[in-house]
Amino acid sequence: MIKNFTACFMSGTGNSYRAAKWAEKEANKRKIKSDVIPVNRFNCGKSFIRGKSAMIGLFYPTHGFTAPWPVIKLALKMPFGKSTKVFLSASRAGWMIGPWHLPGIEGTATLLIALILWLKGYDVRGFQGLDMPTNWLAVHWGLKKENALWFIKRARKKTSRFVSSIFTGKRLYRGFIFILIGVLFSYISLLYLIAGKLMLAKIMYADYNCNSCGICWENCPFGAIIPVGKKKPAPFWTFKCESCERCIAYCPQKSIQTGALYIALLCWFMYGVMGFIPVAVFDFISQEQSLMFLSSGIPATLISVGYMLAWVFLGYFILFRGSRVKVINKIFTFTTFTKIYRRYHEPGTKIRDMK
């Protein structure tokens, strides 16, 4: 019999937070003592109650067809489970094309965490992919409110049924077709975890509407945004960024943008103007017998990733400094699509709820 339930969530725009609250409501119906904790305050999993009478629910988004780094690190750091029951819910991007509501793909987001926790002695009772409104606002626009609410209504029913079944002792493992797709896309997931996450941390800036209110850096769950400047501080995104989109979703001025022109110029410079550098490096490697192993497979990928990240770091420094100059800021803002995007966060979730 379950006596204690802990719902741990990672959420930027409120999707996974809301799912965790739905689970808490199901626990309260059964008079189970429950708690809802953000992943960054979960104390590496050392503070929760373990044992056969305890259950943990992990609620988190899908990033790059797999689980995001904070959740992977949490699973690795959690102490051995002592048969503690656990279930997983990975939010995925529900999308609209014309009149059709399309499901997202959680890929290996549930399977990866399930395997880690199973190896650590947890009793994995189930997992599911959960279609919530797509929220990757740095890349595309949010859904209209009526379409977002359509996904949320269905997700609430699905989560309630899923959690209720888990609490009554059933085992439910959903989404094997999407897991198979995730296995096929595992190379993309690996590249995302190694480099994509870091690159996406360095594409955002604040436009000239920013009033230095501090909401973005004060509420970033990973401390990835720092204010730079004395008279009028501007947000600076560090490599800690997990692309949770909280800053974009809750900015009252809608001033956080993605540098589309900057990305185009950076790619042109990396692989056009300066594209001879990696070619020269690999030509040199291929001529040195003792270094030939570097030109194939994983070593070659790591060299390419290192080259890319070096330019991303330098490029973002230029973007940030340039955005402090009003004329350059206006040019970047005029050429970005983000300024016309519909912003989204879960309608019933306020930014203070997730803290």
Which of 168, 186, 204 delimits the end of a domain?
186
Predicted local distance difference test score (pLDDT) of residue 289 = 61
C-alpha distances (whole Å) from 114 to each of 193, 258, 353 are: 18, 34, 27
Domain that holds residue 311: 262-316
Predicted local distance difference test score (pLDDT) of residue 14 = 96
What is the count of structural domains for the chain?
Answer: 2
DSSP 126: E
**CATH label of the domain that carries residue 86:** 3.40.50.360
C-alpha distances (whole Å) from 313 to each of 112, 120, 240, 309, 317 are: 30, 37, 13, 6, 6
Residue 191 falls inside a structural domain: no
Contact 67, 112 (CB under 8 A): yes
Residue 164 falls inside a structural domain: yes
Which of 167, 186, 205 delimits the end of a domain?
186
Reduced DSSP (H G I as helix, E B as strand, rest coil) percent helix, strand, coil of the chain, to 5: 50, 20, 35
**pLDDT tens digits for 156-200?**
999 999 999 999 999 999 999 999 999 999 989 988 998 888 888
CA dist 290 and 233 (Å) reads: 50
Predicted local distance difference test score (pLDDT) of residue 198 = 86
Residue 267 falls inside a structural domain: yes
The verdict on 168 and 284 lying in the same domain is no
The verdict on 120 and 17 lying in the same domain is yes
Closest CA to 84 of 6, 165, 172, 173: 6
Predicted local distance difference test score (pLDDT) of residue 259 = 86
Low-confidence ranges of the chain (pLDDT < 50): none
The verdict on 306 and 177 lying in the same domain is no
CA dist 177 and 106 (Å) reads: 10
What is this structure's pTM? 0.90
Closest CA to 154 of 8, 15, 28: 15
CA dist 320 and 315 (Å) reads: 9
The verdict on 180 and 273 lying in the same domain is no
